Amino acid sequence: MSRRNYSGGRSQPPRSNWNSALQNAQAPSFPQISRAEIRELVGPQSAQRGWIYAEEGAVTRLQWSIDGTGTTREGKRQLQGTLFGTVAGSGNNAYGAAVILWPDADEQTITGPASVRLWRPIRSSCTCPVAPECKHVAALMYESTSRALRAANPHGFPDDGPSPLADHAPEQVNGRDGDDEYDPGSAPFNPADLRLPGSHEVRPPEALTSARSRVTGAAPMPYQAPQPPAPPSWRQVLSGNPGGAGSRGPLTQSPAAEMPLAIGVELRTEPQPGARRWGATATTLEDLTTPENRFSLRLIPLKPGAKDNWIKGGLTWRAFQYPGTQFGLRRDHADIFGQLYRLYQADNPHLHGSEAELQWESFRSPAAWLLLQRAVALGVEFDPRGILGHVSVATDQASVHLDLSETDPAASLDTVTKGPSPIAVRVVVGAEGEELETPRRVGPYGVFIVELPESPGRSSKGSVRLRLIPTADEIPAPARELLDRGGQMIIPSEEQGEFLREFTPRLQAQVQVTSADQTVKLAEVAPPVLVLQAVYSGDDRTELRWFWQYSAPDRQLPVLRRGVGAGRQLQHEQTVLEAVRLIWPDALATDEQTLDGVATARFAEHILPRLLDVEHVEVNVTGELPDYEELTGAPRVRITQMTTEDTTRTDWFDLGFEITLGERLIPFVDVFSALAGGKKSVILPDRTYFNLNDPVFDQLRDLIAEAQQLGEWEPDKPRISRYQVTLWEDFEDLAEESVEAVSWRETVGALRDLKQIPEVPAPTGLDATLRSYQLEGYQWLSFLYEHHLGGILADDMGLGKTLQTLALMVRARQLRPEDPPFLVVAPSSVVSVWAQEAARFAPGLDVRVLDSTARKRKTDLAEARAGADVVVTSYAVLRLDEEEYGELEWTGLIADEAQFIKNRSSKVHGAVKAVRAPFRLAITGTPMENSLTDLWALLNVTAPGLFASPRVFSQEYIKPIEDPDPSDDGARRAQERMARLRRRIRPFMLRRTKDMVAHDLPERQEQVVEVPLQPKHRRLYDQVLQRERQKVLGLIQDLDKNRFIVFRSLTLLRMLALDPAIVDEEYAEVPSSKLEDLMERLQEILAEQHRVILFSQFTSFLGRVAERLSAAGVTYSYLDGSTRNRGDVVNEFREGNASVFLISLKAGGFGLTLTEADYVILLDPWWNPAAEAQAIDRAHRIGQTKNVMVYRLVAEGTIEEKVLALQQRKAALFSSLTDEDAAFSQSITADDLRELFSGS
């Protein structure tokens, strides 16, 4: 048996609760072992040969089970599993190999075996002559690793693909294993012996069985796929054995193939002190009649012999040390033998001797008796040996005590003396209501009795009946010594006084002492006292120590006894402990306790006075406990708000909290510190205290936690930002009374409800009539502007966000014409649109378009904007001239298509944030495209005091909402956080959907058209899909590292679903199913004089469409990112010079108004639903007079269907953010929420 130094000692017996958990746990399919670990265990040569064996399929059967625990050098319990199986060797021989495995050091914290991935080998064994460091053991581990890798990545390692062990090949080593040249004379190992009940067995695939024949010389065996197990019969079910032979039940028997075990029991006599002989000898009848003799009980493992008898057969106890490695033996018998041996090792770590037998008296733990009784229950036979003819084990426990009685001096064995009579001290052992006759001690927790033959014959062999009886407790030392000396001792009469006066109390402290005939008068022993020492050290801290004070003799004993100590008045102790726990349930958790704060106060006020009245309890207090007083009553909260005295922090307001409990005003600083620290109670400086387990304090705790994360919050000076309107509302709801600052009420108070915002008529300089919802939006913008606030205008595309903003600008310039201009920042493609829209709706505004940097203009910014009302520039120019734009003051900042600044780490985001403007507006129909992180980035620019840092925002909102815990609690938390987030952003984000203003828009119809691939197209797509799937599935475990490769594969499949010709010219002959469908559809649409916009992500496909349109004589306009004369191309289509407009989604998905078209066709779906929605709204927007038809072309049975499903999940997340609470109706289950908020 090979053994490594990793364990550092012998294995410890598994604890029952841990072992039970292991038996019920499901192990992973097979363990994975690193190449270095295999090499370290078996050596480089065996590792190399084992790898070859595994690759050639020599492992013909493999089994794995979690079956116990081991103990590390530091004494920690350790998961343990056994890997065993059959390996085909040379010369048609098959060998049985086994490996004990522990989880790898990097996975020590894993508590369940099912989640352990890497294991390390600790010990091994094999039936080959070279064992244990042989190639068969190595092959076993390599084969297990191969199967583990296949199970983890089935697509990456198909049966006909590369071997998973390709990367595990060991270095080439010269030399061979010794067993290659060994010709065994014994019969080969039978693989059937490896099958253990309930174990995991997998046969090699066909590709490996043919290779196996090359190793073993046997004919190839055809591979048969594993068959599902047959359902259990009624006999198995009713016997409690649904698993068949592999499971043990009360009505099942061991399979015939498994041999039962027996324990040979032999009694031996130890030599007397001073004897010349050494070592125990076989016990005789004469030995049993000598009271002073000591005996040793030997246990020997046995198996069935050929003559219907029990034989040793080479068995030793060490063979059962490791669970699951005993082939062909009854598993339950072998398990109990293993537990006995491991317990023996634990009790005797330094014992060296023969492992063929165990000395029962050397067991130090009472658990040995439980295991022996368990063996009897499992049907393990006891084979009596030597003088013994029968052996039995009692199920009841024996009691042990001492009995005193006076003896007649004339009958005494001592010299006859005058005076008091001698006293006989006798050990009394009782079992089953009777006193045992002549009990002999066997170990610290048991005795045995023998029944001798009435008339011994010539031979005493097999004539004695032995009965083993466990004791309830460890045999006390005095009783132990007496049992070893015949069970009785006489105290001389002249020493009686000393014995009764000095020694009897000591005996009573260790063992029960009686006088059955009442001839000896025993002094009454006072019951013990439970002592509590309380040391008060100031700062509301008290140290407690509990112990029992016994008298006669005086001694202190611990309260929490581990096991039952002799000489203790246990019933009395239990009665006193119960009386104390009735007063104080938390008492006596340990012998020593520490009380802090309120715990000390409650102890001093409520518990200590009552303990003083408990009988048999003594309390000693060191130090002077203060007079504590508990405050009761419902808490009341009053909150005041005032403008901060710090003139540099005009966005912040000071808060004042008044908390009243009964008639007592509580300092807020103390309450805040306790709530922030997660405490459940508060103790004040005057030694009054109170609980915080009130709903008012629970709400206050949550609000304070949120306010703290927003900054500017200190216990003695709490503050709130004017952007935190709804947080103030929550404080108001909590308080019985609240007082707002006048400036707060005048500025942001109205933001609680749009209906409270003052009505402002549309400005006279606006050359347009605002619809009702546009007028409402204009008034909201005006309110933000007048009070130097910011926000997000997030109306659906096409509802006139630009018009509402222009209306605000016209009014602002009329009110304060001397103020600096507004700065509008937009994508380059939209800059000209602003100039056009301003000229159309606000002709009185002086609008300057700065579409180049100051260096190219050759004029500085101050000169270029002089006299302007509005300056329009691009994000690119702002980024390049960031310093110049940041130095000037602006009346307001307008960030159009604000999704361009959603990346908080980008230079564009930093440049926009650096602009100095009291009014800041983000305009976007998609404030959240991919994650709530997008929303934080926009609010960081427009409402910088609303939320905390991105890290805190992620912790409080993004993680609970987008990646909730997969439980009902996780779903509930996600719902609560989403509701809170909606509440917080409500005053600063205005969003109206087209559904809300449907009466102002024509009807829009959408249809998903599933396009089946033509046969040639389908075959090519499936072929590439199979190849890319195998590659990608092996990479997604480390997505960050392989993101580019994965994205490239996805893009390839999307392009292939569109048109094989745009992937590679060699596929030009493969027809594009979608292109053919499109041309047929366009022919019908154009014949009815409709105008069409075609969107695609791929300009190469738009080029293919353009070729077909030209060939068909259809006029078209074309726009992608490379188009320079963008305005001319748009006007060409709007003026009717083209029937079809080909647009790349990225270049034309926003900033265009193309209401001349009434058909929109999306040629390929995109991951982001917002991008598609923006594209559709180029045609379906305010100004459209015709119904709009939208087609989404999706290639059937391709990755495009998956993209469409991803779109729906992202759209649902954004909808839940902006919709009302109805989005979380009772019909949505916890599973729905997990899917709704899961990351994509």
Look up tokens 């006075």; give the residue. Answer: 609
* Higher per-residue confidence, 1127 vs 627: 627
**Structural domain boundaries in the chain:** 2-216, 262-393, 399-514, 529-629, 631-747, 757-998, 999-1224
* Higher per-residue confidence, 1056 vs 525: 1056
What are the pLDDT digits (tens) for 92-131? 677 778 888 888 765 544 444 455 678 889 888 777 777 6
- The pLDDT of residue 245 is 33
Answer yes or no: is pLDDT of 750 > 60.
no
Answer yes or no: is pLDDT of 894 > 90.
yes
Percentage of the chain surpassing pLDDT 90? 23
- The CB-based long-range contact list for 479-486 (8 Å cut-off, 24+ gap) reads 479/400, 479/401, 479/402, 479/427, 479/511, 480/441, 480/444, 482/402, 482/425, 482/426, 482/427, 483/427, 483/429, 483/439, 483/440, 483/441, 483/447, 484/294, 484/441, 485/291, 485/292, 486/291, 486/292
Residues 6+ apart with CB under 8 A from 372: 340, 393, 468
What kind of architecture, by CATH, is found in domain 999-1224?
3-Layer(aba) Sandwich (3.40)
Contact 301, 419 (CB under 8 A): no
Sort 1176 into a burial class: Cβ within 10 Å, 0-12 / 13-18 / 19+: buried
What CA–CA distance (Å, rounded) separates 749 from 758? 12
Residues 6+ apart with CB under 8 A from 357: 264, 266, 298, 299, 300, 317
Contact 390, 384 (CB under 8 A): yes
In angstroms, the first-to-last Cα distance of the chain is: 51
Mean pLDDT confidence for 327-349: 86
- The pLDDT of residue 352 is 56
What are the pLDDT digits (tens) for 192-247? 333 333 333 333 333 333 333 333 333 333 333 334 444 444 333 333 344 433 33
Q: What is the DSSP letter of 425?
A: E
Sort 680 into a burial class: Cβ within 10 Å, 0-12 / 13-18 / 19+: exposed
- The pLDDT of residue 224 is 35
CA-based angle 112:27:78, to the nearest 5? 50
Answer yes or no: is pLDDT of 350 > 80.
no
What are the pLDDT digits (tens) for 675-697? 777 788 888 888 888 888 878 88
Residues 6+ apart with CB under 8 A from 606: none
Q: What is the CATH number of domain 757-998?
A: 3.40.50.10810
Q: Residue 252: pLDDT band by 50, 70, 90 thresholds?
A: very low
The residue type found at 751 is: L
Q: How many CB atoms lie within 10 A of CB 745?
A: 11
Closest to 1232 (Cα-Cα) out of 988, 1027, 964: 964
* Higher per-residue confidence, 1232 vs 981: 981
Total-model pTM: 0.43
Look up tokens 């109205």; give the residue. Answer: 750
Closest to 751 (Cα-Cα) out of 773, 729, 720: 729
What CA–CA distance (Å, rounded) separates 915 from 792? 17
Mean pLDDT confidence for 776-781: 92
Q: Are 757-998 and 999-1224 in the same CATH fold?
A: yes
